Structure 1
Amino acid sequence: MSLARKKEKNIMPWRKNLLAHHNRKEKAPKKRRNRALDDPEYMTKEKVRQAVIERDGGNWCAISGVSGVRLELHRIVYGSQGGKYEVDNCILLSADMHRLVHSSKKTWMPILQDHVHCMKLGMPEKSPIQRITHREE
């Protein structure tokens, strides 16, 4: 009697592919798509800044009224909370006012949201910021 041949085992397909990822060739990383080039309606941060300037009627801080080129675009609903750079969620602030707004988010978020709503409707005199900064004496 000769030595018995070893029978080939039927290997399940999921076992064959169990370590298949170790033998893959390295793929080049995917290139990030520039949505601004693909979609002309896509709002870049600069387009949002220009739209906010048009909405507010000028290039100045919404709280202090300081005008200038060094204004910062502030998201009312923060990025960590799902806020995006959109015209209805942004406002221009000076550096000092931006720090002030970030120091007490719970106080300033509803005030800024109401301000944006009033500016959108074309009623800046009803804005809560106008009431804070232009108090009657």
Structure 2
Amino acid sequence: MALARKKKPIQEWREKILAHHNRKQVAKPKRKRNTDPDYMTKPKVRAAVIERDGGNWCAISGVPGPNLQLHRIVYGSQGGKYEVDNCILLSKAMHDIVHSDKKKWMPILQDHVRCMKLGMPEKSPIQRITHQ
């Protein structure tokens, strides 16, 4: 009959070295798709913005076209979402200008959206900027 051997305690520094090997890999949970029929996808937001602004053109320069970009007035990093009241269509050139000076353009674009929503495009600050 053999005597049972006592296990030697693992030294603390060795335990820390190998600690990352003992973690179990947990798969990230899959994002659930929104099945709500009223959920606004980017194409739906784009269509609603076109309807609100009265056409498919850049809100600042008036450039028509299929190559317009959907710009979020309040950026995603600040909690802004792709919603009709937070989006505007801009040409590539105007989009670059707006992104170059966010503090200047954000209140102007917010006022423009507010005026277009109320049906008063003549009071929009963009009209005053572009037509002076």
Specify the TM-score bucket, using the shorter chain as the normaliser.
0.7 to 0.9
Q: Which amino acid aligns with 1:113?
A: Q
Gaps of 5+ in 1: 1-18
Query: 1:99: which partner in 2?
Result: 96
Identity %: 76
Secondary structure of 2:122's counterpart equals helix
How far 1:31 sits from its partner (Å)?
A: 2.7
Q: How does 1:50-65 map to 2 (within 5 A)?
A: 50-65=47-62
Structure 2: stretches of 5+ with no match in the other structure? 1-18
Over residues 24-48 of structure 1, what are the superposed CA-to-partner deviations in whole Å (9 max), with x where a residue is unaligned? 6x6655332221xx11011101111
Aligned match of 2:8? none
Q: What SS is found at the alignment partner of 1:101?
A: helix
Alignment-derived partner of residue 79 in structure 1:
76
- Deviation track 1:1-51 (CA, whole Å, cap 9, x = no partner) reads xxxxxxxxxxxxxxxxxx9xx586x6655332221xx11011101111000
Amino acid at match of 2:56: N
1:125 corresponds to which residue? Answer: 122
Match of 2:107 among 107, 110, 116: 110
* Residues 101, 28 of structure 1: alpha-carbon distance in 2 compared, 3 angstrom cutoff: closer
The CA RMSD measured in Å over matched residues stands at 1.6
Runs of 4+ displaced beyond 2 Å? 26-32
The TM-score, its normalising length taken from structure 2, stands at: 0.79
CA offsets 1:88-113 (integer angstroms, 9 cap, x no match): 00000000000000010111000000
Secondary structure (helix, strand or coil) at the match of 1:109 reads helix
Aligned length: 112
